[in-house]
Structure 1
Amino acid sequence: MRLSVKGVNKSFGGLQALHDVSLEIVSGHIYGLIGPNGAGKTTLFNVLTGLYKPDAGTFILDGEPYQPTAVHQVARAGIARTFQNIRLFGGMTALENVMVGRHVRTRQGLLGAVLRTRAERREEKEIKEYARALLDYVELRQYAGYTARNLSYGHQRRLEIARALATEPKLLALDEPAAGMNATEKVDLRQLLEKIRNDGKTILLIEHDVKLVMGLCDRMTVLDYGKVIATGVPQEVQKDPKVIEAYLGAGGSECQQS
């Protein structure tokens, strides 16, 4: 997997949210996107995942032009995301939530679902088995029958990741997955993201927890006022004077991986 993003611009009225943003994400990496509030991180996420239409820019995914338009087309192209605010189906079970994510890869159409054909029933069984395996992967199998709203906050975050993984993404885009987590939940999250990377998945990560992101990411880009001010490995980025001034503060260069 390789995603190349070049010259992305996005304005909202007179506000330039993104200005000539470029980055390149390669397979098997956790790529961090950091910066102060209002830097344009989520705007870039929304452009990449089809929620916003860019004013300019080119996107190349695995050597082919990629047009982030409708959200379902983005999922079929191989990019799945989570959001800052949890967006699970609260009244559905954990298993059902993951099954919903899997349906982007189904073969049977509406007619098969209405007629309950043999092929449709077989595929539904396969989807359920796949969803159970993903719940096991994120260590939530015992909660398969729980309604999503009754899960703990940390478990809901993990369930969102499982639902995103159900689309078999080339790129898993996570928007502040550690937001609101306690220290124990953050440790569990870090272990899960490392596991996903070690299994060959590629992750694009927005995260405000500097210690977490510096310890997880292979490379990162720092945005400020919609512009790229630094790109590199964490050890380089945290020592960059522009990054320290804009985001990390006076003690930022001392932030160590852990």
Structure 2
Amino acid sequence: MTAPALVVEGLTVRYGSLTALDDVSWTVDDGEIVGVIGPNGAGKSSSFAAITNTVPHEGECRLYGASTAGMSTQALARRGLRRTFQQNSFFTGLTVLENAMASLQVERATRLLPGIVTPWRESRARAGIRRDAGALLAEFGIAARYHELLPDDLPYGLQRVLSIVLAYGGGTRVLLVDEPAAGVGGDDMRNLADLLGELRGRGLAIVLIEHHMDLVMEIVDRLVVVDRGERIAYGPPADVQRQPAVLEAYLGRTA
């Protein structure tokens, strides 16, 4: 039996005397979107920080069966586990195209000595990365007329798309997406839903934190609901949304 793409088991995060996440477990498989939802302060973003080893935590995470304990964020990225952030995070001094090139360069960079001895190979490799970066952007709806702009000059909806595309572009297998629809609506929301669905169709395992419940209920395969650091529900969206504990967490009442 094939191991899940990512297993989170007994994940616990404490900030001093505050327990932000308490013994939370879930899994995500290739070609699946798992949603993580809950009220503000429930511990959702702390779970992403723990999974990527940017905060101390207890519990275990396994990436395709291998423990991630002690791995740096960079090492996890090289193994295919990457994330986006609530706030856009770009190389602000680089153009949109150059940002995309940087995301691909991680996987294809030549070593220093061959680059010195045979610089023509480095030049040819860079030209190939530039071509592929342009194709990647266009493929996900960022047209060529935007490629030479700085990311901050893009329409905001495209900035949110760009953040996902850049995370995906360099060999990602498991993608943690943190509130991609924050500040967007209408056609931009539709584009995000289509983008995430397309990535799932390519076999990515996606974990989505999102407050826009229409988006969540449309695209996720399973839901994890956390409240005050604890997992209070887990399963198919249609089942989860009817559970009394979930209604209590969101609406302050039981069914």
TM-score, length basis structure 2: 0.92
Number of residues paired by the alignment?
251
In the alignment, what sits opposite 1:88? 90
Name the SS of the counterpart of 2:158 in structure 1: helix
In structure 1, what is the Cα distance between the partners aligned to 2:252 and 2:133?
43
CA contact (8 A) 2:5 2:205 kept: no
Displacement of 1:112 after TM fit?
Answer: 5.1
Name the SS of the counterpart of 1:69 in structure 2: coil
Structure 1 stretches of 5 or more lacking a match?
Answer: 254-258
In the alignment, what sits opposite 1:70? 72
Of residues 4, 8, 12, the one that matches 1:9 is: 12
Alpha-carbon deviations, 1:33-84, whole Å to 9, x = none?
A: 0000111000001111232231x11122112222363221110111111100
Structure 2 stretches of 5 or more lacking a match?
Answer: none
Report percent identity of matched pairs: 39
In structure 1, what is the Cα distance between the partners aligned to 2:113 and 2:56?
33
Name the SS of the counterpart of 2:234 in structure 1: strand
Of residues 149, 158, 163, the one that matches 2:152 is: 149
Alpha-carbon deviations, 1:1-43, whole Å to 9, x = none?
A: 5211111111100001111111111110111000001110000
Asked if 1:47 is matched to 2:45, the reply is no
In the alignment, what sits opposite 2:121? 119
Of residues 38, 51, 55, the one that matches 1:35 is: 38
CA contact (8 A) 1:93 1:145 kept: yes
In structure 1, what is the Cα distance between the partners aligned to 2:189 and 2:89?
19
Amino acid aligned to 1:27:
D
CA contact (8 A) 1:51 1:69 kept: no
CA RMSD of aligned residues (A): 1.9
**Moved >6 Å (runs of 4+):** none
In structure 2, what is the Cα distance between the partners aligned to 1:148 and 1:112?
32
In structure 1, what is the Cα distance between the partners aligned to 2:118 and 2:147?
24
Displacement of 1:115 after TM fit?
Answer: 6.7
TM-score, length basis structure 1: 0.91
In structure 1, what is the Cα distance between the partners aligned to 2:73 and 2:123?
27
Of residues 176, 194, 199, the one that matches 1:196 is: 199
In the alignment, what sits opposite 1:243? 246
